[in-house]
Amino acid sequence: MRPETIHGKKLALLLLSEGEVGFEESSCVTGTTDWDGERLRVRFEGESASFPLPFDKLDRVRAVPPELRRELGEADLYVTLKVGFDEDDVHDARPALGLSWPE
């Protein structure tokens, strides 16, 4: 998928947190894509932070099936991403995105 084709679309990030035995938690955050000609970012409503969507993840962006639109925050598109951190690192990557893991 080309970044200019998804500019301005609502994108759901399906975040999967890996544990010792597979995926332990999942969360979904939605934002609006913003392509400036060089970088593609996801801007979150009411948040000052944005998430840079790497170009190598664009081939994983898919249209949200109609039956899942409500569950995915009325997003047009979604992408699944693994979220985690190195076992030796005590800092979780999520706060660096400006997001908190929903309870």
| Residue segments in the chain with a per-residue pLDDT below the cut of 50 | 86, 88-96
DSSP state letter for 93: S
Any idea where the domains of the chain sit in the sequence?
Answer: 3-84
Please tell me the predicted confidence (pLDDT) of residue 31.
93
Please tell me the predicted confidence (pLDDT) of residue 93.
46
Beta carbons within 8 Å of 15's beta carbon, 6+ residues apart:
26, 27, 28, 29, 81, 82, 83, 94
Please tell me the predicted confidence (pLDDT) of residue 9.
96
Please tell me the predicted confidence (pLDDT) of residue 90.
44
Please tell me the predicted confidence (pLDDT) of residue 101.
52
Please tell me the predicted confidence (pLDDT) of residue 76.
96
Please tell me the predicted confidence (pLDDT) of residue 16.
78
